[in-house]
Structure 1
Amino acid sequence: MPQWSDYSTGERIKILRGREMRQADLAEMTGLTIATIQNAEQNKRQSLPTLLKIADAFNVDLSVLLGQQAPRRAMAQDDRRMIRDLSRAVHDTAAGIVPADVEPADLVDLQQTADRCWDLYWRGRYVEAGTVVAPFLASAAVRLREQPAGEQAPALGVLSDAYRLAAYVANLVGARDLAYAAIGHAHIAAERAADDMRVALVGSGRSWVYLRDARLPEALALAEKSAADIEPRFSKATLEQLTAYGSHVNFAAVVASRMGDKDRAADFLSQSHATGARMGREVRAHGTLFGPVSATTQAVGINVALGQTGKALALIDSIPDVSALTEAARNRYAMDKAMAHADAKQWDASLDTLEQTLRNAPDWARHQTMPSVIVQKVGRASTARLRRVSELIGVPPGVQEFLPATRKTAL
C-alpha cells in the first residue's frame, strides 16, 4: 500500500477533496478560479499562496498537502472544522481568552450542557459532540471568572468536565496533541476544585490517551492508580460510585490485555464482574455507563485481545441482550464480536455482524480502525459480501488510510 508521501501534491489534493466536494466547491471556498484548482490537481503552477489557501479550506496543515505528514484517518471536512474550533476553544480558555459576547450561564444550565455532550458522545455522534463542547468551554470559563472567591469549586468541576470531553473527542479522532492539552487542563481544574472523583476520572482519561499513543506501561500504571483512588466500600457504595469504579477497573483490564498480561487482566475483570453484579443494572454517571452488561461485553474484547477466542465466543453466547448499552458501546461490542468470529475463521458470521454495524452506524464507524482490521483478517475470502463491506468502510486500493469519509473516494 502506498504511503501518503508517495502521492503527488495534486493527487493528495484530489484525495482530500473527495467525492463530496467538486472542484467548483473548492474554488469557491478558497477564492481561487476553477482553472487554478485544476492546475493544482494536475501538478501545474502550484504556488505557495495557492497551496496555503487550499490547505486552509481543508482545515489541514500545509505539510499534509506537501506529503510531510499524513492526514488523520477518516477526517471529513466537518471533522477538520470541528477539531480546529475545538482546539481554539481549549487553548484560548486555558489562556483566559474568551469571546466578549459569551454570557456566564448558571451552573445548572452548564451541567445540562455537559449531560447533552456526553449523550452525543456515547451515541457515537462525535463531531456533533465536539461542536457543542467548544462553546461549552467558553461558557464554563466565563462562569468560573464570575464566581465569587471561595465559591469556585462547582464551576471548576464543570470546567474540568468540559476539558475532559474535549480530550475524549480529540483522542478518538486522532488529534493526539489536542487530547494531551485538554486532559492536562482537565486535571488542573479538577485538582483546583479538590474533587477526588473528578481527579480519578481525568486520570483514567489520560490513561486512554496514553493507550492510543502506545504508551502502554504508563497507561496501565495510571489506570490502576485511578481505580485504586476511588475504590469504594461495597457495603456503603452508591450506584454512582460503583459506576465510576467499575468503568475504571474495566479499562485497566483493557490496558493489561493490550500488554498481553493475562493474569492482571483476569484480576481486573474479576473486579469488574463483581462490581457489575453488585449494581444489578446499567447506570449512567460521571460521563460513563457501567453495569453487568457492560462488564460482560467489554470482557469479550479483552479476551479477543489476549487471543483467548474460545472464552470470547463463550461470553458472546451468554449475552442475550445489549439494548441497555449506549449506541457506541453496542457498536464497539459488535466489532469485538466480529473480530472473535474472524479469529475463529467463522467468516460469514464475522462479515454479517460487520456489515450490519457499518450500515446502521456509518458516522460512528468512520472514526474506528477495527472494521479495516477485520476486513484484512478475512481478506482471503474473496466474496461479493467482502467487497460490499470494503466499500462501506471506504477502502479503494492503496488509499484506505487517507480517505476523508466512509464512502469510496474518486481520485
Structure 2
Amino acid sequence: MVGTGHTDSSAFDVVLVPLDVTYKVVFVPTSPHIGPQLARLRRRRALTQDELAASAVVSVDVVRRLEQGKRTSARLSTLDSLARALGCTTADLLALDQKEGASGGGPRVEEIRHALTTPEVLGLIEPVEEEPVCLEELRGQMQRVWALYQDGFYAQVALRLPEVLAQARLLGRESVGDEQVEAEGLLATAYQAAAGVTITLGHPDLSFLAVERALNAARFSGSELHHASAVNFLSWVYRRSGRLSDAEHVATRAAEAIEPPWSGASSSHLAVFGSLLVNAAGAAARTKHVNRCRDLTSIARSAAERVGSDHVDRWAVFGPGVVAMTAVNDAVELDDLDTARRFIDQVPTVEGVPSSWRARYLLNVALTHTRHRNYQQAIEALAEAHRVASEWARYHPQSRVTAQILLERGYGRKAPNLVDIAQHDA
C-alpha cells in the first residue's frame, strides 16, 4: 500500500479539494475581533504596521488588511508569526475564549465537522493546484497540535486541526516515496486528535468518522505502529461510547498482532503494545471483569518496566507512571476503593506525562478520598486536576460528581470554586 498516492478514505476514495477562497482550509477563519485586537496589541508594543510586518516576516498588506477587517482568513503560520512578534499567544491574537471554545457545541467543533465532511474531502470536486507546505513544516505543526491535544487544550487543537488535516492530505497527494509515507502517518495522527477532541466534547459520530479515517491513513502509511495507535484510539472511542466488549476486543487483538520481542524492541513499539493493554484493561474494569483487568495490567506493567520511564510520542503515552495511575483508575471503576487508596500510595513521581493524563488520575484520587471521607485531600486533588488541565477538567463528568458530593458535605465555604465545578454543563 505504501506509495500508492492514496491520501484519505472512508466509505469512499477521498481527496482534499479546496472549494473557494472562503473555504480554502489551508487558511483559518479569523475572529471578527482580530482587527481591533491586532491593532491594540501592536500599539501596546509601540510598533508601526511596517515594523510588525518586518518583525513577523509577513507582508505589511496582510497586517493592514487584517486590522481594517478587509481580510477574513490567514494561514496559521502567519498568525503564529504575528503572535510571536507581538509577544503573545495565537489564542490571544484571535481573542479566543477558552471556556467557549471548550464547550461541546462550540464553533470550533463545527470547524472540525466541516473539515471532516465537506464535499471536497469526499472527492466530489476535482483537485485544484495548491502549493503544499514542506514536510518539516507539517511535522512541526503536527507536533504542536499533538502536544496541545495531550495537555487538554482542545479549543486550540480545534483551531489548528483543519489546516493540519488539509496540508497532510495535500502533501500526501503531491509527494512520493518516503515523504508520502510520512505525510500519511502525520495525517493519521491528525485524525486521531480529531477523534479525541470530538468524543470528549460529546460528538461520537464525528469521532468514529475521524478514527476510521485515521485507520485508513495509517494503513496507507505502511506503519504498524500508526495502525496500532489508531486502533487504540478506536478502542478508546468504543469505551467512551459504552461499547466495552468491542473496546476490549479490538485492543487485545491489536496488541497480539504487534506483540514485540521482550528484548531488542524499541521504546515506541513497547509503548504502543502496552498502551493497547492498558486500554483493554480499562474496558475490562468497567465490565467488572476483575481477573482479566488484572492480567492485562500485569502484562502492561512488564512492558512498562522494559520501557523504563514514561514515554510520550505521537503513537502512545506509556510507562511505569502511566500504568500506576491507570491501575488507580481501574480500581475506582471496579468500585474497589480500598485497593485504589493503596495504589495511590504506590504511584511514583510522574514527570513528562501529559496534563490531561495526570488530571484524569487526580480526579480518581479526589473521588477515592471523598468516598473515604478524607475531604480535605479530595478538595486538594480536585483543585490540582483543574490546575494542571483546567480546560480538560471543566467538562469531565467525574469532576462535577465529586464537587457535588463535597458540596453536600458542607465544604462549599472552604472551596468556593466547587460550586462552579458542580454546576458546569459540559
Q: Shorter-chain TM-score category?
A: 0.7 to 0.9
Aligned to 2:253: 225
Q: Distance in 1 between matches of 2:340 and 2:130?
A: 50
Which among 83, 90, 101 is matched to residue 109 of structure 2? 83
Q: CA deviation at 1:307?
A: 1.4
Q: Distance in 2 between matches of 1:385 and 1:216?
A: 39
The aligned amino acid for 2:279 is: F
TM-score normalised over the length of structure 2: 0.71
Aligned to 2:243: 215
Query: Within 5 A, what are the aligned runs for 1:33-44?
Result: none
Q: Distance in 2 between matches of 1:370 and 1:174?
A: 15
Which among 293, 309, 317 is matched to residue 289 of structure 1? 317
TM-score normalised over the length of structure 1: 0.73
Query: For 1:131-183, what per-residue CA distance to the aligned partner results, in whole angstroms no more than 9, with x for missing partners?
Result: 11110001011112212489743332222222111111111111111111111
Query: Within 5 A, what are the aligned runs for 1:243-258?
Result: 243-258=271-286
Cα RMSD (Å)? 2.5
Which among 282, 296, 301 is matched to residue 329 of structure 2? 301
Aligned to 2:418: 390
Q: Do 1:351 and 1:385's aligned partners in 2 also have CA atoms closer than 8 Å? A: no
Aligned to 2:371: 343
Aligned to 1:407: none
Q: Does the residue aligned with 2:317 lie in a helix, a strand or coil?
A: strand
The aligned amino acid for 1:348 is: Q
Q: Distance in 1 between matches of 2:259 and 2:121?
A: 31
Aligned to 1:241: 269
Q: Distance in 1 between matches of 2:330 and 2:409?
A: 26
Asked if 1:269 corresponds to 2:272, the answer is no
Q: Does the residue aligned with 2:416 lie in a helix, a strand or coil?
A: helix
Q: Distance in 2 between matches of 1:260 and 1:126?
A: 31
Which among 122, 135, 158 is matched to residue 95 of structure 1? 122
Query: For 1:242-274, what per-residue CA distance to the aligned partner results, in whole angstroms no more than 9, with x for missing partners?
Result: 111111111111111111110110011101111
The aligned amino acid for 2:110 is: R
Q: How many residue pairs were aligned?
A: 326
Q: CA deviation at 1:101?
A: 8.3
Aligned to 1:111: 139
Q: Distance in 2 between matches of 1:344 and 1:255?
A: 25
Q: Which ranges of structure 2 fall in alignment gaps of 5 or more residues? A: 1-32, 34-97
The 3 A distance-change label for structure 1 pair 344 and 101 is farther
Aligned to 2:380: 352
Q: Which has the higher contact order (CA 8 A, sep 6+)?
A: 1
Identity of aligned residues (%): 28
Q: CA deviation at 1:75?
A: 7.5
Aligned to 2:402: 374
The aligned amino acid for 1:76 is: E
Q: Does the residue aligned with 2:303 lie in a helix, a strand or coil?
A: helix
Query: For 1:189-239, what per-residue CA distance to the aligned partner results, in whole angstroms no more than 9, with x for missing partners?
Result: 222233222221111111111111111111111121122222111112111
Asked if 1:278 corresponds to 2:302, the answer is no
Q: Do 2:297 and 2:327's aligned partners in 1 also have CA atoms closer than 8 Å? A: yes
Query: Within 5 A, what are the aligned runs for 1:18-167?
Result: 76=100, 79=103, 80-92=106-118, 94-96=121-123, 103-148=131-176, 152-167=180-195
Q: CA deviation at 1:103?
A: 3.0
Q: Distance in 2 between matches of 1:244 and 1:77?
A: 31
Query: For 1:308-357, what per-residue CA distance to the aligned partner results, in whole angstroms no more than 9, with x for missing partners?
Result: 21221112112342233221122111111111112222222212211333
The 3 A distance-change label for structure 1 pair 360 and 161 is closer
Q: Distance in 2 between matches of 1:261 and 1:98?
A: 51
Q: Which ranges of structure 1 fall in alignment gaps of 5 or more residues? A: 1-24, 26-73, 404-411
Q: CA deviation at 1:126?
A: 1.2
Q: Distance in 1 between matches of 2:320 and 2:228?
A: 22
Q: Do 1:163 and 1:185's aligned partners in 2 also have CA atoms closer than 8 Å? A: yes
The 3 A distance-change label for structure 1 pair 344 and 231 is same
The 3 A distance-change label for structure 1 pair 102 and 393 is farther
Query: For 1:31-80, what per-residue CA distance to the aligned partner results, in whole angstroms no more than 9, with x for missing partners?
Result: xxxxxxxxxxxxxxxxxxxxxxxxxxxxxxxxxxxxxxxxxxx9725651
Between stretches 140-149 and 366-375, larger displacement belongs to: 140-149
Q: Does the residue aligned with 2:352 lie in a helix, a strand or coil?
A: coil
Q: CA deviation at 1:86?
A: 1.0
